[in-house]
């Protein structure tokens, strides 16, 4: 990623288990991209947020992570929707649209 680079991911906040089920089982679908956001939140060299807009916009910024997610011995691919559902504000680091405008 470039020095001031930003990556934006779409569909990071699935509204139900059927929206994130892999393989796809419905027309309206998010997939399990939320698992990638959770993993990136544990990295120290990028700052990551999820904007509460349009089913979740994941923002990955090339900047030191001042609030890393502390998860140990986790297989991110095997995370369950129940874990997401019960913890999404913290694990996804959700913020408002107005907040992201100040960050970027």
Is there a domain that residue 50 lies in? yes
* pTM to 2 decimal places: 0.90
Residue 59: inside a domain, yes or no?
A: yes
pLDDT tens for the chain, 104 residues long, are 898 899 999 999 999 999 998 888 888 899 999 999 999 999 999 999 999 998 999 999 999 999 999 998 899 999 999 999 999 999 999 999 999 888 88
Least Cα distance to 46 among 21, 67, 29 occurs for 67
Instruction: Tell me what pLDDT residue 62 has.
Output: 94
Q: Looking at the domain assignment, is residue 1 inside a domain?
A: no
Query: Does the residue 78 lie in any domain?
Result: yes
Residue 73 has what pLDDT?
87
Provide the domain limits for residue 53. 6-103
Domain count, the chain: 1
What pLDDT was estimated at residue 76?
Answer: 95
């Amino acid at each position: 990623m470039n020095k001031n680079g930003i990556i934006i991911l779409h569909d990071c906040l699935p509204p139900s288990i059927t929206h994130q089920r892999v393989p796809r089982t419905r027309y309206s679908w998010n997939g399990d991209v939320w698992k990638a956001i959770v993993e990136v939140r544990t990295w120290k060299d990028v700052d990551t947020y999820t904007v509460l807009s349009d089913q979740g916009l994941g923002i990955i910024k090339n900047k030191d992570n001042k609030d890393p997610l502390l998860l140990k011995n986790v297989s991110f691919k095997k995370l369950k929707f129940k874990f997401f559902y019960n913890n999404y504000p913290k694990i996804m680091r959700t913020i408002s649209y107005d907040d992201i405008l100040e960050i970027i």
